[in-house]
Structure 1
Amino acid sequence: MANDTRFYRYLALCSHVALLIWVCLWHFLLSPDTGYSALFVFLMYVVPLLLPLKGVIQGKPYTHAWANFVVLYYLLHGCTIAYAVPAERVYAAIEILLCCGMFAGCSVFARKRGQELGHGLKKLKVVMEEERQRFEGNKR
């Protein structure tokens, strides 16, 4: 693995773990009682981050790619809280920063590692040429 690829892998991993810890701290210790049960908070805020954790720890590029969909949920949450709840803006800002780190790390790592492993997508003109040859080969 190249050094820059390794850097983005660790950025994604560290941001993911830090976001998981931050979400737990924020919603279970720092935030005032919201009236939601601990089980509900766990299911809504902690479980989604646990889903891609194994693949991110193992350094799987595909998991890093789809983990971005999970992190967007937290980015939206942080932006909403930053706008709507002035008392928790600092907490939301930390969440937003961790989300940005995870998103950047996951995106770049998935791309670079996928290229290193030869899992890149073919260019459209190559795909179109293959289709044309296959179609014309079946007509004859």
Structure 2
Amino acid sequence: MKPIYYYIIALTGFFGLFALLMLWNTVLAPSGRLPVALVLLIAVTPLLLPMRGLLDRKPRSCAWAAYVSLIYFLHGTAEAYANADERLYAVLEVMLSLMLFFGSAFYVRMAARQN
């Protein structure tokens, strides 16, 4: 398979995860205990760190995006276990984080093989 396909999977996971976190914390189930801005800052900031390099297809940034996605995998599994009301969102977070992880990891691996 060509590296571009893995890159598209990684981007789908990345932007899907970004959109899910924005919607989940603002529209779908906002936190009643913490300010929405604070929750968004904590939830979305790690995704923004490797974003520029990911969009430029830099292998190092893609690898970091894979590592960052593991944070969202852990959060999604914990939420799916602990919060039955938001289990659907948590499972979606797990799926998107896995798309980002495997897409990024395989993109870096396949791109390195081509060069």
Gaps of 5+ in 2: none
* Aligned: 1:88 with 2:70: no
Query: In 2, Cα distance between the equivalents of 1:50 and 1:82?
Result: 24
1:110 is aligned, of 96, 100, 108, to 108
Specify which structure has the bigger relative contact order, considering alpha-carbon pairs within 8 angstroms and separated by 6 or more residues: 2
Task: Tell me if 1:7 matches 2:5.
Answer: yes
1:26 maps to amino acid? W
Unaligned runs of 5+ in 1: 118-140
Aligned match of 2:24 = 26
Q: What is the aligned residue count?
A: 115
Report the identity percentage.
35
1:37 Cα deviation after fit = 1.2
Cα 1:17–1:32 change in 2 (3 A) is closer
Checking the alignment, whether the CA contact within 8 Å between 2:21 and 2:43 is kept in structure 1 is: yes
What is the rounded CA distance, in whole Å, between the counterparts of 2:14 and 2:60 in structure 1?
A: 15
Residue-by-residue CA offset, 1:67-93 (whole Å, 9 max, x unaligned): 112111100000000000011101101
AA aligned opposite 2:68: V
CA drift of 1:38 comes to 2.1
Task: Tell me the C-alpha RMSD between the 2 structures.
Answer: 1.2
Whichever of the two has the greater Rg, that structure is 1
